[in-house]
Amino acid sequence: MGFGPRLGAYLIDAVVANLIVGVLYLAWLGYAGDVRGLAIYLVFLLEEFILISTAGQTIGMRLLGMRVIRLRDRGRQSWPWIGVRTLLLALLVPVFIWDRDQRGLHDRAAGTVVVRDPARADSAR
């Protein structure tokens, strides 16, 4: 997958995290204004971890037809490795350093790769 679709998925997921934090604030969870950025960041990482470890894709990835799979056998990676991937993603640096196959360091460390979602490709035909 190229950089463009990944950036698009990232932006969609960032908007979703921002909306979740905003709804929580309006509903019942009051917090100081300077904590909002940290709350959005943590919700974004939680969203990444939960959705990729259970469904193999985030909301942004689903909308743009991508999926995270285990490189070894194209299956879904186990949650401890998705935890490693998410922790490295939190550092942001691994996202911007990739190899010739366009795999970020966070994907390389977790043994994963981002691919076109085969289910979306089949339904589009």
Which tens digits make up the pLDDT trace of 85-104? 999 889 876 677 777 777 88
Question: Could you report the per-residue pLDDT of 16-53, keeping only the tens digit for each?
Answer: 999 998 888 777 766 666 788 888 999 999 999 999 99
d(CA 86, CA 46): 8
